[in-house]
Amino acid sequence: MRGLEVRDLTRCYSDAVVVGPVSFRAAEGEFVSLLGPSGCGKTTTLRCIAGFETADAGDIRVDGKSLVGLPPHRRDVGLVFQNYALFPHLTVFENVAFGLRLRRRPAAEIARRVDEALRLVDLVGLDARHPSQLSGGQQQRVALARCLALEPRLLLLDEPLSNLDLKLRLQMRAEIRKLQRRLGKTAIYVTHDQGEALALSDQIVVMSRGRVEQIGTPREIYETPRTRFVADFIGASNLLAGSVASASSDRVVVRVGDLSLTSSHGADVATGQSVTVLIRPERVRLLRSANDRPASNLLAGRVVDVVYLGEDLQVSVEFESRLALTVTLKASDTDEALAPGAAVTVWIAPTDVRLLPAERETS
């Protein structure tokens, strides 16, 4: 298979701290994110691929050839570090030329490829500067160019944007995506920022406590999380504990406290089973007029808090059974009347009521 294949990668630090077994694939040209909170093993996985840590078990293959046992400098995988890790004693040109010089390329070729790489990251004319004379964003571009100049088989990025401020981060995010698409390089991107992972990836590998929780496209991960952890970690979510009151192939009724919610998902649940109900805040709708009444999932409640976020409005609604939902509304769709104390009726489409296996809250 072309691209990267990680199979049952395991790294043991002690009996208590084990990463793996982790398995995932990245087809050639695919952008795959390893997403998870700190300590979930995503960086360890990346470092095993780069060869800075030795896996205790499992296999890592690039284009079908195993990397296991190869020292880091023979792996031909480019790594972009979180703190850039530029060589402070070398100029921008020399930083980018570093790998080419080690490979003893002719001077003319080095000059050409460094120039190309700097052009790719839109960093022309700064060749003679030292890293200390560059801004964080520029340093990150140099780090990227330094990798790209070697045309590695695989591009590894270890939280490359986390040291940049928000605006620059969004800009670099778009550029990295554009660049990766254009070059068709397989990229593995480690991040704890779900927004980055959703925006950049073809596939997301969600990790938690050393394990893979779910692998899928950004849409799959967001729309159909398989575990409570994934639902909670990615995006905002209302997670409610409930039990299945009745189940048929296209309609499941779940009791949550005194409320009953209908879901159109969950063919694999049985009556009486405990489940976690996931409702995304932006999928909850506020009903104004009395004549527009769907048959199910109508809940009457009271606004307890309203947070104005500019674009959005975050409203906490409490229901009779002290059950509460966070609802995200477009600020432009609301008015001043929506204030704490106001009585509201909300509706959730059965397709937006997701059922997850019940799980004790551990994370």
Partner 1 sequence: MTTARGWVAFVLLAPGLTVLTLFLLVPLGLIVVISVFTYSPTQIWLPPVTTANYVKFFDPYYLGVTWTTVRIGLVTTLVCAVLGYPLAYFLARLRSRWLGLCLFLLITPLMVSSVIRIFGWLVILGRQGLVNAALGAVGFARVDLLYNEPAVVVGLTELLLPFMVLPLMTAIETIPRSVEEAARNLGAGSFALFQRVLLPLSLPGLVSGALLVYSVSISALVTPALMGGRKTRMLGNLVYDEVLTSMNWPFASAIAVVLLIVTGAVMATYLRTMRVLARRVGRP
160 touches partner 1 (CB under 8 A) = no
In three-state form (DSSP H/G/I as H, E/B as E, the rest C), the secondary structure along the chain is CCEEEEEEEEEECCCCCEEEEEEEEEECCCEEEEECCCCCCHHHHHHHHHCCCCCCEEEEEECCEECCCCCHHHCCEEEECCCCCCCCCCCHHHHHHHHHHHCCCCHHHHHHHHHHHHHHCCCCCCCCCCHHHCCHHHHHHHHHHHHHCCCCCEEEEECCCCCCCHHHHHHHHHHHHHHHHHHCCEEEEEECCHHHHHHHCCEEEEEECCEEEEEECHHHHHHCCCCHHHHHHCCCCEEEEEEEEEECCCCEEEEECCEEEEECCCCCCCCCCEEEEEECHHHEEEECCCCCCCCCCEEEEEEEEEEECCCEEEEEEEECCCCEEEEEEEHHHCCCCCCCCCEEEEEECHHHCEEEECCCCCC
Our finding on whether 104 is near partner 1 (CB under 8 A) is: no
Candidate ranges 84-92, 199-207, 226-234, 256-264; the one touching partner 1 (CB under 8 A) = 84-92
The region, left, alpha or beta by phi > 0 then psi within -120 to 50, assigned to residue 173 is alpha
Given 17, 102, 174, 236, the residue binding partner 1 (CB under 8 A): 102
Site stretch for partner 1 (CB under 8 A), options 68-76, 115-123, 251-259, 327-335: 68-76
**Size, binding site for partner 1 by CB under 8 A:** 32
Name which position in 81, 177, 312, 342 contacts partner 1 (CB under 8 A).
Answer: 81
The answer to whether residue 94 forms part of the interface with partner 1 (CB under 8 A) is yes
Residue 330 and residue 281 in contact, taking contact as beta carbons nearer than 8 Å: no
* Stretch of residues binding partner 1 (CB under 8 A), selected from 27-35, 71-79, 175-183, 348-356: 71-79
Out of 14, 89, 295, 337, name the contact with partner 1 by CB under 8 A.
89
Interaction of residue 71 with partner 1, rule CB under 8 A? yes
Q: Which is nearer to partner 1, 87 or 308 (CB)?
A: 87
CB of 52 or CB of 319, closer to partner 1: 52
Interaction mask 31-60, partner 1, x per CB under 8 A: -------------------xxx--------
Residue from 12, 27, 70, 90 that binds partner 1 (CB under 8 A)? 90
Q: Pick between residue 84 and residue 229 the one whose CB is nearest to partner 1.
A: 84
Q: Least distance to partner 1 from the beta carbon of 130, Å?
A: 6
Q: Does 251 bind partner 1 (CB under 8 A)?
A: no
Name the minimum Å distance from CB 188 to partner 1: 13
Q: How far apart, in Å, are the Cα atoms of 28 and each of 181, 183, 242?
A: 11, 11, 42
Q: Is 220 in the site for partner 1 (CB under 8 A)?
A: no
Interface pick for partner 1 out of 2, 65, 103, 178 (rule CB under 8 A): 103
Among 34, 86, 254, 277, binds partner 1 (CB under 8 A): 86
Among 144, 148, 150, 313, binds partner 1 (CB under 8 A): 150
Residues that bind partner 1 (CB under 8 A): 50-52, 71-75, 77-79, 81-83, 85-91, 94, 98-99, 102-103, 130, 132, 143, 146-147, 150
